[in-house]
Structure 1
Amino acid sequence: MAIIIGSLLLGIGVNGFLVPNHLIDGGILGIALILHYFFDFQTGITMVALSLPICIYASMNKRGYFFSSLQGLLVSSLFVDLLAPLRSQIYLSNLLSALIGGVIIGTGVGLMLRYQTSTGGTDLLAKIISKTFTVDIAIIIIAIDGLIVLASLTLLPLNSVLYSCVAITTVGLTTSMIGGK
């Protein structure tokens, strides 16, 4: 149930709030969104292609995470692509979209992490690092996501990058509150 609800929230947050304002999240989703904006790739399918190496790595270390994360990856990618029509339904300012989208996405990711699953991308990597080094998962997610945003500086307008930082911080904090360490 956590995979379905978390994936639904992820799909709503991405399509209803981030994409209409050309905002990105971090990690694999952020890379998939950048590829969507510039090459019109389907975001969900791109998430699967980019996440598979991380899932394979996880299978070598934490088999339980691998299977639940593979399910989370496939279901969340499906919801991200199925809910694409939301992209033209909600119109809010960049700030409101970043905050609301961040809370919705963070709730979905946090819910999945709480029940030992994830979307398979850098969420899974952050969970493994968090358990290994006892570092708060929010800090790890914000660091990884920050690197993705820095990489996007040459591709997106500064306005989009700054509001993406707000969204990413909101996702990380919400994930930490809901998913815990």
Structure 2
Amino acid sequence: MATFIGSLLLGIGVNGFLVPNHLIDGGILGIALILHYFFHFQTGITMVALSLPLCLYAAKDKRGYFFSSLQGLLVSSLFIDLLAPLRSQIFVSHLSSALFGGVIIGTGVGLMLRYETSTGGTDLLAKIISRTFSVNIGLIIIVIDGLIVLASSTVLALDSFLYSCLAITTVGLTTSLIEGN
């Protein structure tokens, strides 16, 4: 149930708030959004293609977590692509999109992580790093996502870049609160 609800929230946050305002999240989703903006690739399918190597790496470490993360990746990718029509239904400011989108996405990711699943990708990487080094998962997500958003600063407009930074910070903080570590 956590996978379903978390994935639904992720799809709503991405399509209802980030995409309409040309914002990105960090991690694999952020890379998939950049590819969507510039090459019109489907975001969910791109996430699957980019996340498979991390999922396979996790299969060596924790087999049960691998299967739940693979399930989370597939369900969240499906919701992101199925809920694409929301992109033309919700109209709020960049600031509201960064905050609301960040809280909705962070709640979805945090819920999934709390119940030992993820969307694969860098959420999975953050979970592994968090357990290995006893570092707060929200902080790890902020760092990884921040690096990806920073790398995208050359292709985003300044306002999109700044609001994307706010969105990933909101995602990381919300994830940390919901996940509970």
Structure 2 residue aligned with 1:139: 139
Structure 1 residue aligned with 2:63: 63
CA distance in structure 2 between the partners assigned to 1:175 and 1:22 by the alignment: 22
CA distance in structure 1 between the partners assigned to 2:90 and 2:7 by the alignment: 19
Structure 2 residue aligned with 1:90: 90
Q: Is the 8 A contact 1:137 1:180 kept in 2?
A: no
Alignment of 1:31-110 (within 5 A): 31-110=31-110
Q: How many aligned residue pairs are there?
A: 181
Alignment partner of 1:153 is 2:153: yes
Structure 2 residue aligned with 1:115: 115
Point out 4+ residue stretches in structure 1 off by more than 2 angstroms.
none
CA deviation profile, 1:55-86 (whole Å, cap 9, x unmatched):
00000111111000000000000000000000
Name the amino acid aligned to 1:180.
Answer: G
CA deviation profile, 1:88-140 (whole Å, cap 9, x unmatched):
00000000000000000000000000000000010010001000000000110
CA distance in structure 1 between the partners assigned to 2:82 and 2:38 by the alignment: 20
Name the amino acid aligned to 2:94.
Answer: N
The alignment partner of 2:140 has SS state of: helix
Name the amino acid aligned to 1:166.
Answer: L
Alignment partner of 1:6 is 2:34: no
Name the amino acid aligned to 2:75.
Answer: V
Structure 1 stretches of 5 or more lacking a match?
none
CA distance in structure 2 between the partners assigned to 1:164 and 1:151 by the alignment: 12
Q: TM-score scaled by structure 2?
A: 0.99
The alignment partner of 1:153 has SS state of: helix
Structure 2 residue aligned with 1:125: 125
CA distance in structure 1 between the partners assigned to 2:65 and 2:134 by the alignment: 17
The Cα shift of 1:16 comes to: 0.1
Alignment partner of 1:16 is 2:13: no
Q: TM-score scaled by structure 1?
A: 0.99
Tell me which moved more, 146-155 or 74-83: 146-155
The Cα shift of 1:177 comes to: 0.2
Q: Is the 8 A contact 1:51 1:120 kept in 2?
A: yes
Name the amino acid aligned to 2:68.
Answer: S
CA distance in structure 1 between the partners assigned to 2:149 and 2:124 by the alignment: 19
The Cα shift of 1:180 comes to: 2.0
Name the amino acid aligned to 2:9.
Answer: L
Tell me which moved more, 71-80 or 150-159: 150-159
